Structure formats: structure tokens, C-alpha cells
Amino acid sequence: MSIPLILASQSKPRRDVLYAAGICPTIRVSHVDEPAALEAAAAQTGVAVDDLTVEQRVMILAEAKAQAVHRAYRDVADTAAAATGNRVIAYPLRAAEVQAEDAEIDEGADAVTADSSIDYSSDRIATTRDFSGVDMPTVTEPISNIIALQPGLTRATVGPLIIGCDSMFLMDGECYGKPHSAEVARARLRKMRGNSGELWTGHCVIDFATGRVARGASHATVHFGDFSDKDIERYIATREPLEVAGSFTLEGFGGAFIDGIEGDPHGIIGISLPLLRKLAAELGVEWTDLWNVQRGEIAPESADAAGIAMAGKDNLPPVENVHQPGDGWVDCACGRKHWGTNGASGILLARRDPATGKVTHVVMQHRAAWSAEGGTWGIPGGATADGESPIEGALRESYEEANITPEDIEVVGSYREDHGNWAYTTVFAFEKLGHSVEPKANDDESMEICWVPIADVPNRKLLTAMKTDWPRFAARLDELATAYAGK
């Protein structure tokens, strides 16, 4: 299996460069306060920010981004490693009544098969199969087995590699970042025409398993053509130059205004492949060990990346959605099509009354209209990424989607519904004593994320799987609250 790579950037050009080079990264935005990071670094060296060279600036910011994502993944791994309690594994497809039902379907003319002719937006495919009332065979084991026996962050000996990048443009001794406004972009572009400058990109690579760090910078000289004021206005109207370092791109509308480049062209786009290969080698990783895309494979469209059974043109997913390792449909043995090539998982987070210890609320997600079973309520979660255990995937996804901070919760059990070639793991967790989680929708996969009173959960329009499982989940939460009273 390839070594996973995490890109601490939401830059589509950087992601596309990696994908074209055979690497599909996991995207994790760092949310670094860049001015504050520069000020802190300058203060440590006893100089002003204006005294920092462009190379120093991009290196400082690249490492700040990589370290922020490294800390976030460290929190996930630490919380997963501290998990206690039991894992219950249920095998619904082994139940006698399910096997009998499947036999009847197979004999009928309307049997479901997984092929390209199926309309996966139909209810039979888009909704999870309802196993309510089914006496499912189960196995119970210590949850620590997941950590001890399954691949994951806590057991990795190498990787994932976390990459932080930052770019700035240097011209006439002045450093340019992103202009953010049309006025700033206009002034810069007028200075740039017929002129030359240097595009610098800092790179920081961290090996999660060892904590080792490798750093470097890429730069290239860019020669601009003598474009007109009309060209500038039309270019600004595309909005492309507003959120890119230096107010120009090589791979977009701005490419026609660049007469020549001296140096690494990928560095102009914001990520230098030759430099990254060298930095990975410093950490003992062969570049080819990072390949996880087949030659000629096209990056999936956003609809596929979101894991959606499309319900019509009015329910399209956000264009920002990107394909990540582990995303993809699985033709499940249960006759449905499920999301997550490595399976999927989510967090069922409960809040307890400080006095009685009883569960009072759980965090729930009101699913976006464009998602499968859109408009229903469930728990935050998603596909397990390459190199993660189900618990780690649930913790990562629930933070990204719902702001459930892993350092503020404790994992106390799990429930895995195993279909053979696909499984979904529900991870039970409590807020730690003295800690408070403030859930919110961090992306467009949710209409709403909130604490829901435990008694109100059955009154919501629940995701099929949640509706099926809620009675046993509610009973399990009561048992766990009793077992963890005072903890």
C-alpha cells in the first residue's frame, strides 16, 4: 500500500499538480493566522517582519501550516489511542431472515445488480438497507483491538507525510502575497507588465510517524508580457488573480500573459515536485511509494467526490468538494451502493448531566439536500481515508464537518455494522469532564450541526440507518453513562 500524503492546503492547482503526478492527497486546511505566524517568527529572531527575506517568509508559513495539521492529526491519534470500552461487531447479512429475504429477491425479476445501467438516485440504492427487527449475529471484543490490530495513525512506522506550502512573489525588492481586492491586483499587474520577478514557494514535509521534518524552498524567475489595461480589467473580472500569490497564475487565464520562466514551472503553480521528492528522500521515503493514482486516471468530479446519489440538477454539491483517498462507491454485498472504499465511520457524541451522569444530548447533523438521503438527521462522519483506523477516520471527519474537537472528548465504545466488503463504524464518545464541545457546520455537507435533546432524537426525520439503530444506540448510551459515572 502507498504511503498517505496530507496536503495542508485547499489550493486546487497544488492538488491537481500532485494528482497528475500520481498522488491523490488528503486535503486538510491548516487555518493558520499568517500575519501572526510571521510576527511571532520575526520576534523570535529579534527583527521586524519587513526585515524577513521572501525565502524566510515562505519557509515560516509553510512550516506553520504543516505543524498545525500535524498537531490536529496528533490530537486524533491520541484520542483514538486512549479509547476504552468494547467494540460490538454486527453481521446483518448473516441473519437467517436477511438470507431468506435475499434468496426471494434473487429469484424475482427485479433483483438488484451492481452495473452501470442502475439509477443510483433511486430509493433502493440511495438509502441504507433497513435491518430493523433483524436478529443480527454479533461479536463483542475490547475496542483496544482496533488500535492493536488494525492499520492506523497510531501504529504507522512511516507516514502519513504532511506537506505545508506557501508562495510569495518578489519584484523590485517588494514581497507580494495574495492581493484579495481588485484595486491591489490592478496596481500590481500594471507594475508587472513588461517586467520580471521571482515566485518563491516554501515547502515543509513532516513524517507523522516519526515527527521528523524536512524543509526547502523553490523559486523561479517569471517574465511578463506587455499586456494592456483592457487585458488587466478583463483578467481581474475573472477574479482569478485576487486569491493567488503575485496576482497571476501559470495554469489559468494568466498563463497567456507570461512570456517565459526560468526555473521549476511547478514551483510557479505553488508546489515543486522535484523539491518535494528530495525532501521526502530526506525522510527516508521514496517518491514512488507515494503514488496512489493509476496512470491516466482522471480526478473524479465533485459529485462523485461528495459521495452523492444525485437527486437532480437542483441538488448539485458544492464545486469546492474534492476527491480524497478513501472516497468512492462500493457495490456492497447487501445489494446497495455505499460510500467509502475503506468503509466509513462517524461520531455519536453525548453530553451528560453533571449531577446525575445521565445522557442529556447528542450531537446530530442535518444532512445537506444534495447528499444521499438529504434532509435527514444523522451523525457527522464519512469515508475512512487511507492509513486510518475507523475510529481515527470518525474523529477526523467529525472535526472537519462538525467542529467536534478530539482533545475534548473520550471514546468509550463503538458499533460496527459489517457487510463483508464494506462496514460502517459508529464511535460512541462523551465530552470529557470539564470540557465543552461547541458543534457547528464547518462545511457544506450539513444544513445544521447541533446538540439535540436525547428524548427528541426519535422525533427527527432520521437517516435510515440511524432510525434502525437508534433504539439500541440509546440503550447503549445509558449503559455507558452508568459505567462511566464520575469519569
**CB 203 within 8 Å of CB 163:** yes
CA 379, CA 462: separation in Å to the nearest integer?
10
How far apart (Å, rounded) are the C-alpha atoms in residues 325 and 22? Answer: 12
Under DSSP, the state recorded for 287 is G
C-alpha cell at 166: 506557501
Give phi and psi for 322, each to the nearest 5. Answer: -130, 155
Q: At what angle are helices 390-402 and 54-81 packed, to 10 degrees?
A: 120
Whole-angstrom Cα distance, residue 116 to residue 113?
A: 9
Out of 16, 75, 166, 469, the active site residue is 166
Between CA 98 and CA 306 the distance in angstroms is: 30
Beta bridge partners of 5: 161
For the chain, give the number of residues.
487
Query: From CA 359, how far away is CA 282, in angstroms rounded?
Result: 50
Helix (H, G, I), strand (E, B) or coil at 19: helix
Q: Give the separation between CA 171 and CA 185, rounded to whole angstroms.
A: 14
Q: How many angstroms separate the CA atoms of 141 and 324, rounded?
A: 31
Q: Are 343 and 352 in contact (CB under 8 A)?
A: no
Q: Using CB atoms within 10 A of its CB, is residue 391 exposed (0-12), middle (13-18) or buried (19+)?
A: buried
* Active-site residue flag, 166: yes
Yes or no: say if 427 and 363 are a contact pair by the CB < 8 Å rule.
no
Phi first, then psi, for residue 375 (nearest 5°) are 95, -10
| Active site amino acids | 166
